[in-house]
Amino acid sequence: LGVGRMKVMDTLRSLDAFPKHGEEFRVRTTHGAMASVVAIVAMLYLFVSEFYYYSRVEVVDRLVVNSSHADTLKVRFDIKFHHIPCDLLSLDAMDTSGQRQEELVHNVFKRKLDAEGNKADRPERHRELGTLQHEHQLSDPGEKPACGNCYGARDDPDACCNTCEEVRIAYEDKGWAFHPDEIEQCQPAKVLSSIDPETEEGCNIFGNVELTKLSGNFHFAPGEHLQAAARSGQMSFSDLMSLTYKSFNISHDIRTLAFGNHFPGIQNPLDRQSRSVSDGSGMYQYYVKVVPTTYKFLNRRRKDLVSNQYSVTEHLRHVTPGSGRGLPGVWFFYEVSPVQATFEETRQGTLEFIASVCAILGGVFTIIGLADRVVGVAFEKLRGDELLR
């Protein structure tokens, strides 16, 4: 039994691909020590580099056909108009046919700015959307209503409140809180004070609005409530038009403009951009190409982010009273691309990392060993030549 075991062990030893040498057959040299140090340093450096690459998250992008079925497009904005009073400025949105986008979901605020562009007041909710885009809207407001609305403050349904003061008295009689900003009869005086050329006031308008998904525009222009000033008879239509152009300087700063939620690495081309118009009046037009984007995280427990990127070109159209080219404003025309971008976080697999580390360590060991062997042979040859002499 012992002899058979010895034969098995001998056969097993014959398969050893890593034969060992006795200590008396090993020769330690200076160049061998230097090669060992170089090998250790190289292995450590390459291992750390490979580990950094393994732990790093890379983002891979690709383009696919847009198959999303979202009905709305959420736009976030924060824009400063340094020369337009808030009472003149309004927001509206239209579809590709030029019709107003009805029942817009919006959360928009306006804040007054002083002459230096600093915040001069608390932000106020901008509830009523609607703008004027053409001169005839400003000069032809329609017939003045024969009986002003009392907004339910009079018991008599046929009662008329044709002035702001009459509405205020009716509210006081009812014990209701009076908010002139929401009363049409109170708008003329407010508008006229806003377009006073001596007034140095700007406006910061910010918030978000949900638009139709396919294409259309949203814009900042003179509000529809300007027609109330024309109806009041306190100013001629020509004077009102002239002052509107003079007071509506469209120079603006875009602090942020985004179509959707923020995701890692996104860069919106219009963020922190300023546009100045020398003569003030004009129609600044931005043409925006929106690309639906999905961002997938490495951690699959995190929900994918659905957002949008965009590219933009711009054009300035100068407008003057009587030119028939429209009223001053800042317009954003958008179109959704049929292509969708997908960004996905990836990382090197563990098995791939182990294989790479083994290849690095084995390769460095082999190359340094070969170099040490060559140097050793060269030294031996040099010593042999010296002995022959």
pLDDT higher than threshold 70 for residue 69: no
Residue 8 and residue 249: Cα distance in Å, rounded? Answer: 98
pLDDT higher than threshold 70 for residue 39: yes
Segment 79-89 shows an average pLDDT of 87
Lowest mean pLDDT, pick from 192-196, 351-355, 370-374: 192-196
pLDDT higher than threshold 70 for residue 54: yes
Confidence at residue 59, expressed as pLDDT on a 0 to 100 scale: 84
pLDDT higher than threshold 60 for residue 196: no
Segment 70-82 shows an average pLDDT of 89
At 256, is the pLDDT very low, low, confident or very high (cuts 50, 70, 90)? Answer: very high
Residue 38 and residue 32: Cα distance in Å, rounded? Answer: 10
Q: Which helix (H) or strand (E) holds 336?
A: strand 329-336
Q: Which among 113, 86, 87 has a CA at the least distance from the CA of 186?
A: 87
At 15, is the pLDDT very low, low, confident or very high (cuts 50, 70, 90)? Answer: low
| pTM for the model | 0.69
| Residue spans of beta strands (DSSP E) within 272-347 | 273-275, 283-296, 305-317, 329-336, 339-346
pLDDT higher than threshold 90 for residue 158: no
- The per-residue pLDDT for range 262-294, each reduced to its tens digit, is 888 888 999 999 998 877 678 899 999 999 998
Confidence at residue 2, expressed as pLDDT on a 0 to 100 scale: 64
The 3-state secondary structure of 173-240 reads: HHCCCCCHHHCHHHHHHHHHHHCCCCCCCEEEEEEEEEEECCEEEEEEEEECCHHHHHHHCCCCHHHH
Highest mean pLDDT among 91-95, 198-202, 323-327: 91-95
At 17, is the pLDDT very low, low, confident or very high (cuts 50, 70, 90)? Answer: low
The alpha-helical segments, DSSP class H, found in 56-105 are none
Segment 87-93 shows an average pLDDT of 87
Segment 310-323 shows an average pLDDT of 85
At 111, is the pLDDT very low, low, confident or very high (cuts 50, 70, 90)? Answer: very high
At 220, is the pLDDT very low, low, confident or very high (cuts 50, 70, 90)? Answer: very high
Segment 285-306 shows an average pLDDT of 89
Q: How far apart are the first and last CA of the chain?
A: 61
Confidence at residue 97, expressed as pLDDT on a 0 to 100 scale: 80
Lowest mean pLDDT, pick from 31-45, 257-271, 307-321: 31-45
At 301, is the pLDDT very low, low, confident or very high (cuts 50, 70, 90)? Answer: confident
Residue 356 and residue 361: Cα distance in Å, rounded? Answer: 9
Which residue did the predictor score with more confidence, 278 or 63?
A: 63
Confidence at residue 108, expressed as pLDDT on a 0 to 100 scale: 93
Segment 343-358 shows an average pLDDT of 86
Q: What whole-number percentage of the chain has pLDDT above 90?
A: 16
User: What integer best gives the mean pLDDT of the chain?
Assistant: 80
Segment 314-320 shows an average pLDDT of 86
Residue 229 and residue 164: Cα distance in Å, rounded? Answer: 13
Segment 229-251 shows an average pLDDT of 67
Q: Which among 213, 187, 155 has a CA at the least distance from the CA of 88?
A: 187
Helix (H, G, I), strand (E, B) or coil at 120: coil
Strand partners, 283: 317, 329
Residue 131 and residue 278: Cα distance in Å, rounded? Answer: 24
Q: In this structure, which amino acid lies at residue 49?
A: S
- The per-residue pLDDT for range 113-125, each reduced to its tens digit, is 988 888 878 888 8
Confidence at residue 100, expressed as pLDDT on a 0 to 100 scale: 83
Q: Which residues contact 135 (CB under 8 A, 6 or more apart)?
A: 241, 321, 322, 324, 326, 327
Helix (H, G, I), strand (E, B) or coil at 53: helix
